[in-house]
Copies of this chain bind each other. A is one copy, B any other.
């Protein structure tokens, strides 16, 4: 940490700062510039980060020079993490996961129909929500455990790993009985107790970026899961809030190479929730692959007019098939592989 002194600091303030820093158990180093004097503070980094240096009289600013995440960092693990998702599907290190399926599970027949279609198109993970975070208490909240059972049966029948959202620490044990991959939604990215809970399961966790989370915030939330014992976190960019209301959210694709520089964890993109507009999903799926994403998450519904939740933002199966076809071509240019579920 670097303490920047106010331009009009007094020597007694400087002395007080140095004493405080020593009291807290750190070493320091004074550096006098033409316009500003600095105190470099050296010590064990977690303790440093929490030290209330900014409150000491005479201090103008305190600047951190270290990242607050560790287990998630490239410095901790230099090579890309690769996770096995089941059925021969991998993500990371050049392997792309293509998640597809309806927003909510609405019944076995319809899920099976959609699942068959996306599998045929080339998706390698099936999605479907059993517990739905809805902004209105009066909207459809999901089928619950009944939905989880349907998802499991359809995944088994189609030989596809499945992913579903968990919203409550009390549901983790239940969801763990049925899913291959846990999803933490954007609204729960900083639900720290839920993060700690999925840190205890054996399945990989798909962690969606919060609507106003920085890349550092996202990695800190991943750190919670890693620090709780689960090393298999897959990050997901799903759009942030913006002033332009012509799209539902704003897909921030630069976070993909940005995160890849900071962490070894895979990161995928979700153009469905990011744009909320089927007409923009194909282009943004292609852009995600070209940006280096480790996968793409797309909502597909065979009959959006009837979907109980988020229907309008889903692609139809034939549209999805077109998109996957071009994603394959782009993946090849980018030197990536899309594993097939077996």
Contact = CB atoms under 8 A, between A and B. Distances in A.
A30 to B, nearest CB: 10
A43 B43 CA distance: 29
A14 interface: no
Interface in A295-342: 304-309, 311-312, 314, 326, 329-330, 333-334
A49 interface: yes
Residues of A contacting B: mostly: mixed
A167 B168 CA distance: 11
Interface in A30-69: 31, 33-36, 38, 40, 42-46, 49-50, 52-56, 61, 63, 65-66, 68
Contact of A334 (B45, B277, B286, B304): B286
Given A257-B280, A287-B287, A243 B212 contact: yes
A193 interface: yes
A20 interface: yes
Nearest to A193: B168
29 contacts: A2-B63, A20-B305, A33-B40, A33-B42, A35-B45, A38-B40, A50-B309, A52-B307, A52-B311, A53-B312, A134-B192, A136-B223, A137-B192, A137-B196, A167-B191, A168-B193, A169-B169, A187-B190, A187-B192, A215-B246, A216-B246, A251-B252, A251-B253, A254-B274, A283-B291, A287-B287, A290-B290, A330-B330, A333-B333
